[in-house]
Structure 1
Amino acid sequence: MRKMLPLPYRGSTIQLAVALLLLLSVTSRADWRSRCPRGCRCTQNAEEHLGLNLASCKGVSSVPALGPETQAIRIRDSEFGRVPDSAFQQFKNLIYLSIRMSNVLEIEPDAFAGLEALEHLLLSHNLVENLDNRTFQTNKMLRTLGLNDNRMEKVDDRLFWNNSLLEILDLSNNRIHSINPEAFKQNRKLYFLNLSGNNLTHVDVAILSEMPNLRIFQLDDNPWHCDCRLTPLREWFVGKSVDLTQTRCHEPETLRGRPWSEIKSEEFVCSP
């Protein structure tokens, strides 16, 4: 019969194993920080990122040469220009990615391919005009997406098709004038949608039918044409008791500047 180790010894062995694992983890993190490239600051205890391996970079023109242990990347005040295909494919553990105020003009269709763990993607304050329908196709874990303050003009029906876990979507301060009625068909978990500060005159109320969890929907600062085509959207808002004091008509001239909340449904009329 095989002899069992005395309990104190077995306990000590387990404690030693745990201690070694912790030491290896700390050493690995320290090694990751020591290899931080020029232009970046690598930390592990950033509270807003829940202790992730975070690299904060400024003044870079391409993807920094960071290790695969990187879990969060924050790039700003840079001259990126173009984000090429597979630009971040080496970061299999990436959960958070922010490229803001970096003069991004073009994002190639497979720029974020391979980022299957990505949950938060912020691309605001850039110069992006168009996005291919493949752009976020492999980012199925995406929960937050910030595309605000760019130059986008439309939202196609399949742009967010594979992002069924998406909860927060900010498209404010672009140049959007057209939204496909099925643009958010697969985003049933979406509870925050910001479309303010665009060039929208009408929006089909059908876009709301597939978003049962929507709680915050911002539409202010658009050149709304308040006629009969806008009535269904306005009625949906009234039925949800949403604050419409900041959502105002631009056309017709008789209603210009008036908030939706002060206009009766029968005033939303179309010319004969």
Structure 2
Amino acid sequence: MDRPADRVQLLLLLVQLALMLSRLGEACPRPCSCQQPGEVHCTFRSLMAIPAGLPRQVERMNLGFNSIRRITDSSLAGLRKLELLMIHGNDIHNIPDGAFRDLNSLQMLKLSYNKLHELGREALHGLWSLTRLHLDHNRLEVLHPDTFQGLTGLRLLQLEGNRLQQLHPHTFCTFSLLGHFPLSTLRHLHLADNALHTLPHALLQAAPHLETLTLHGNPWTCDCQLSWFRAWSQRSPGEYSHPQVSTVMTR
């Protein structure tokens, strides 16, 4: 056996190993922790923006409790394997159209406790695998009627603690049957502690799979426009109550 050749081969292997370790180190943004493969944890790091150089293979990322003020259309580009994203407890005011366009694998998005005041028509475009969306405790006043269109996997939507005053009948529809009959795939919808005075009848008619609906903490106007609700709740299996006195309505 040629001993010098063996030494050269060993040296090459050591160089390759060093390069691999170097790449692994660079794959984790410096302010964050990446103790598990596919995970990036950046909580309580006083971040002002989403870190650059995020690994493309990341599957779970927690950016909670920082000072992130905005998400740009390139902040999350290329993260096609991301399944869980938590950006709660930050200072985000708006989401540009297309910011989530590459997050086709994302199943849970938590944007609770930010300062969002509206969601545009294309703000959630690309989140085709999303099942849980947490938007509670923001400053949302307006939701475009097509905001959730295309999110056919969406099952839970949390909107409590916002400033919603009115809702379009098709606000929570996620797809249209034959292009003419808007329907929602939601099973759990939380609208408590907003500024709602009434609910469109068509809003619940378009959600045949709804199991849980929370409405407490809204300044309901219990007039003829809301008279349909009692009859609807009596026809629906399970326990429902009038929104003026209810805390949780579950079927």
Normalization by structure 2: what TM-score?
Answer: 0.79
State percent identity of aligned pairs.
27
CA distance in structure 2 between the partners assigned to 1:189 and 1:139 by the alignment: 14
Q: What's the secondary structure of 2:63's corresponding residue?
A: strand
CA distance in structure 2 between the partners assigned to 1:146 and 1:219 by the alignment: 16
- Counterpart of 2:80 in structure 1: which amino acid? K
1:88–1:234 Cα change, 3 Å: same
C-alpha contact 2:173 2:185 (8 A) present in aligned 1: no
Q: CA RMSD in A?
A: 2.3
Residue 53 of structure 1 corresponds to 38
1:230–1:42 Cα change, 3 Å: same
C-alpha contact 1:70 1:91 (8 A) present in aligned 2: yes
Residue 94 of structure 2 corresponds to 106
2:130 equivalent to 1:145:
no
Displacement of 1:43 in angstroms is 3.3
C-alpha contact 1:86 1:113 (8 A) present in aligned 2: no
Structure of larger gyration radius: 1
CA distance in structure 2 between the partners assigned to 1:209 and 1:237 by the alignment: 11
- Counterpart of 2:202 in structure 1: which amino acid? A
- Counterpart of 1:37 in structure 2: which amino acid? P
Residue 224 of structure 2 corresponds to 228
Structure with the bigger percentage of helix = 1
Q: What's the secondary structure of 1:233's corresponding residue?
A: helix
- Number of aligned positions between the proteins: 216
CA distance in structure 2 between the partners assigned to 1:231 and 1:193 by the alignment: 21
C-alpha contact 1:32 1:69 (8 A) present in aligned 2: no
Residue 244 of structure 1 corresponds to 241
Structure with the bigger percentage of strand = 1
- Alpha-carbon displacement from aligned partner over 1:33-89 (angstroms, at most 9, x marks no partner): 774223322233xxxxxxx72211132122223211111111112111111113201
Structure 2 counterparts to residues 170-189 of structure 1, below 5 A: 170-186=158-174, 188-189=184-185
2:149 equivalent to 1:161:
yes
CA distance in structure 2 between the partners assigned to 1:260 and 1:142 by the alignment: 29
Displacement of 1:234 in angstroms is 2.9
2:193 equivalent to 1:206:
no
Unaligned ranges ≥5, structure 2: 1-19, 175-182
- Counterpart of 1:179 in structure 2: which amino acid? L
1:30–1:140 Cα change, 3 Å: farther
1:199–1:33 Cα change, 3 Å: farther
1:86–1:238 Cα change, 3 Å: farther
CA distance in structure 2 between the partners assigned to 1:29 and 1:211 by the alignment: 51
Higher relative CO (Cα under 8 Å, sequence separation at least 6) belongs to 2
Q: What's the secondary structure of 2:85's corresponding residue?
A: strand
C-alpha contact 1:183 1:207 (8 A) present in aligned 2: yes
1:36–1:213 Cα change, 3 Å: same
CA distance in structure 2 between the partners assigned to 1:177 and 1:43 by the alignment: 44
2:121 equivalent to 1:121:
no
Match of 2:31 among 39, 43, 58: 39
Residue 192 of structure 1 corresponds to 188
